A and B are shown apart, each in its own frame.
Chain A
Amino acid sequence: MPSSPMIGYAHATKSFGSLKALDDVSIEIAEGEFVAIVGGSGSGKTTLLRLANRLTEADGGTITVEGADVRDVDPVALRRRIGYVFQSGGLFPHLTVADNIGITPRLLGVSAADIAARVDELLDLVQLDRAAHRDRLPEALSGGQRQRVGVARALAARPRIVLMDEPFGALDPLTRDALGDDYRSLHRKLGLTSVMITHDMTEAILLADRIAVMRSGQLLAQGTPNELAKSGDAYVLELLRTPRRQAERLNALLPKSGAA
């Protein structure tokens, strides 16, 4: 375990007017970890994520990225070295798939030829056909394809950290499942540090190494599913029970494998 975490939050607080979005949250995310932040809407999970690349500025506490206090880092430079996957893609509708993917390298001044090569590499990586998708506009893609492009764009400048804001939330279950698995293997292959927001505990358990549960701006518990199960918090336990209950009901309803 390295001495300093990739991302560290110490006593982070943030208010929007009278609403306390984050209330003294501390958590550390180690290099190579895949952490899911789980919570309902308004729990503060998105605010927590956005503090890391300064899309939102904290009112109090300290946030460090790769050992440096984010307040000491130029926010634009910071965002260029952290991949960010937006809810439902956030692709620029007037730019082709290739131009969307190559945007951060372009901002960093990478040559056009290098960008083109990188875009092809990334299309392979997220399993999109180069020839078929390169020059399309986002409107011509399916939801799943758009999200794959969103992931490719986040990875384009070879970041060590990727932040994801409900990346697979709006997709149909089959696509969602496939994309989650594919991302999980990318995470391992590229040695990324990933933080993903989700409201779905099942997804969190299946993909993440560690889960942080948030409610009303506070971090209720964090740890592996096993560690969470030992938490005394009723809300955390309730969240954990849901996937199992669903699985049991499904088992009862679905035919046993092979019987169909």
Chain B
Amino acid sequence: MSLLADPRWGEALAHLPDYLGNHVRVSLAALALGLAVSLPLAILTRNRPAPRGLLLAFASIVQTVPGLALLALFYPLLLAAASVALAWFGVSFSAFGFLPAMLALALYSMLPVLRNSITGLNGIDPALIEAAKGVGMTGRQSLLMVELPLALPVMMAGIRTGAVWVIGTATLSTPIGQTSLGNYIFAGLQTQNWVFVLFGCLASALLALAVDQLLGLIENGLRRRSRLRAALGCAGIAALLAATLVPTMGRSSQGYVVGAKTFAEQYVLSALLRDRLQVAGLSATARSGLGSSVIFGALKAGDIDLYVDYSGTLWANQLHRTDIKPRTELLAELKTALAKDNITLLGDLGFENAYALVMPRKRAEALGIRTIADLAAHASTMSIAGDYEFFSRPEWAALQKTYGLSFRAQRQMQPDFMYAAAASGEVDLIAGYTSDGLIAKYELVALDDIRHAIPPYDAILLLAPKRARDERLQAALRPLLGKIDIATMREANLRASGNDANSSPDAVAKWLWEKIKQ
């Protein structure tokens, strides 16, 4: 099938007003804030070498923090600030989405703006500053009429660089809950939907180019003292902002927000939940690609209304428990604990997505390995790969301790690529997920955890505190409880990992519903 005729382009286009609008808003707000801070600082420190050096050093250090990490850092920071604000001043604000993304991006925009502004202002011929004084200008007049106009080209170059950086980096704000063009890229990478990845990259590149050109027009207008050009550029930026505001204003409140983490199963389940709510006459949207540390906080704060998590994850990460209980006991205890935070554990969906040690079936048979206990004798010659969090999770420590495992090497990998790596023998063993369809596809086998080192990971439906007594919502969701068995979920996940139109989360969610509705 031709790439251009792929129906997923249409699907991508349908998300564009929402994703682009949010992207433009957060980028422009960040840039505006960055300029509002950087320009006065550059002006104030232009004749003071010591603070100027400190400022540039700070901005350079910020720049060396990877964009994703900077964005991720702002979430817990703001969460703490929000709880302090609530306790001390009774003011509440959301630490989710827009605010952390805007602050992190604003910080990110500062270096090019500061550096170029300082360079531009310091590069002016001192004789001209002297002349400005000599003709009777005050310091302020000299700044506005001589220094800033002369430094403008260099300053604008910095502003344009900052704008391009911010627009590019804003694609990384998806995991902290800020919808952006990055939603295409994260969703596309997780569900092997290259059309989405391409679409997201193209859209953000075009946006960056457009804003750069508009800023160029403003610069040109200011430099040639052409009000028309400057006005055109400003009008262009304003139009861009207005165009992205219109669709949002036209839409009424977005209703229920269904959260999803950053892997394919979550995208499918959030689409399924959203569809169910819509069928029940409730307005609902999916907010996908949220970081797994962000999503629980977002539910607790009411920024999202519902999502699917896994019992063992909450047991370890939220309750900080390291002991292991049988599944029903663990679920009951979890339910009680979550109720203290007013979070409703509505029930389990019927399958488990646990960590499991996975290896090629043939190799396991050849070595006589059926359980993790059998692995102990071979571990010292084997390498293991896991996702980005596995090796720092308590399960990993528990596995090593319970079975006395010590591997030759361990590697971190993008989850989607792990299974292929195990199948090809690039690694001997992976820490996979039991519900992953790729286990069957690549003829891999999950080894039995006979000593129960890994807690149960039942997929459970959680509701935000404000939805605790929402009967319509709960009635719409109950038909799903206990309906999705592991085989069905594996098949759904396998479908979602395909690279064609039927593998989009929406399509797979529809297939899944057809399969379980009887």
Residues of A whose CB lies within 8 Å of any CB of B are: 53, 55, 76-77, 79-80, 84, 86-87, 90-94, 103-104, 107-108, 153, 157
Give chain B's interface residue range (CB within 8 Å of chain A): 10 to 19
Among candidates B128, B145, B149, B150, residue contacting A90 with C-beta atoms closer than 8 Å:
B128
Please encode chain B, from 131 to 147, with 1 for each CB lying within 8 Å of some chain A CB and 0 for all others. 11111111001000110
B280 to chain A, nearest CB (A): 65
A149 to chain B, nearest CB (A): 12
Contact status B137-A84, CB under 8 Å: no
Besides A90-B127, A92-B128, A92-B146, 8 new A-B residue pairs in contact (Cβ under 8 A), listed by A number: A55-B130, A84-B135, A86-B131, A90-B134, A91-B131, A94-B150, A104-B136, A107-B135
Contact status A80-B128, CB under 8 Å: no
- Known contacts: A92-B146, A93-B150, A107-B141. The answer to whether A76 contacts B136 by CB under 8 A is yes
Interface CB pairs A-B, < 8 A, 10: A86-B127, A86-B131, A90-B128, A91-B131, A92-B132, A94-B149, A103-B137, A103-B145, A107-B136, A107-B137
Q: In the complex, what distance in Å separates the CA atom of A153 from the CA atom of B145?
A: 16
Q: In the complex, what distance in Å separates the CA atom of A106 from the CA atom of B391?
A: 70
Q: In the complex, what distance in Å separates the CA atom of A79 from the CA atom of B138?
A: 10
Contact status A53-B150, CB under 8 Å: no
Among candidates A79, A86, A93, residue contacting B136 with C-beta atoms closer than 8 Å:
A79
B436 to chain A, nearest CB (A): 64
> Which B residue sits closest to A154, measured CB to CB?
B135
A70 to chain B, nearest CB (A): 14
Which residues 126-177 of B have a CB within 8 angstroms of A?
127-128, 130-138, 141, 145-146, 149-150
> Which A residue sits closest to B125, measured CB to CB?
A93
- Known contacts: A92-B128, A94-B149. The answer to whether A86 contacts B137 by CB under 8 A is no
> Which B residue sits closest to A103, measured CB to CB?
B135
- For residue B134, which residues in chain A have a CB less than 8 angstroms away from its CB? 53, 55, 79, 84, 86, 90
Q: In the complex, what distance in Å separates the CA atom of A157 from the CA atom of B137?
A: 13
Q: Name which of B128, B130, B136, B137 has the most chain A CB atoms within 10 A of its CB.
A: B136
A134 to chain B, nearest CB (A): 15
> Which B residue sits closest to A90, measured CB to CB?
B131
Contact status B133-A80, CB under 8 Å: no
Q: In the complex, what distance in Å separates the CA atom of A53 from the CA atom of B136?
A: 10
- For residue A77, which residues in chain B have a CB less than 8 angstroms away from its CB? 136
Q: In the complex, what distance in Å separates the CA atom of A24 from the CA atom of B149?
A: 41
- For residue B135, which residues in chain A have a CB less than 8 angstroms away from its CB? 79-80, 84, 103-104, 107, 153
10 smallest beta-carbon distances between A and B, as pairs = A80-B136, A90-B131, A79-B136, A84-B134, A94-B149, A104-B135, A103-B135, A107-B136, A104-B136, A86-B131
A79 to chain B, nearest CB (A): 4
> Which B residue sits closest to A81, measured CB to CB?
B136
Q: In the complex, what distance in Å separates the CA atom of A91 from the CA atom of B135?
A: 10
Contact status A55-B131, CB under 8 Å: no
Q: In the complex, what distance in Å separates the CA atom of A55 from the CA atom of B127?
A: 12
- Known contacts: A92-B146, A94-B149, A94-B150. The answer to whether A79 contacts B130 by CB under 8 A is no
Contact status A76-B138, CB under 8 Å: yes
Q: In the complex, what distance in Å separates the CA atom of A203 from the CA atom of B401?
A: 97
B223 to chain A, nearest CB (A): 8
Please encode chain B, from 489 to 515, with 1 for each CB lying within 8 Å of some chain A CB and 0 for all others. 000000000000000000000000000
Q: In the complex, what distance in Å separates the CA atom of A108 from the CA atom of B130?
A: 19
- For residue B137, which residues in chain A have a CB less than 8 angstroms away from its CB? 76, 103, 107
Contact status A90-B136, CB under 8 Å: no
Which residues 111-134 of B have a CB within 8 angstroms of A?
127-128, 130-134
> Which A residue sits closest to B132, measured CB to CB?
A92
- For residue B146, which residues in chain A have a CB less than 8 angstroms away from its CB? 92, 94
A25 to chain B, nearest CB (A): 21
> Which A residue sits closest to B224, measured CB to CB?
A94
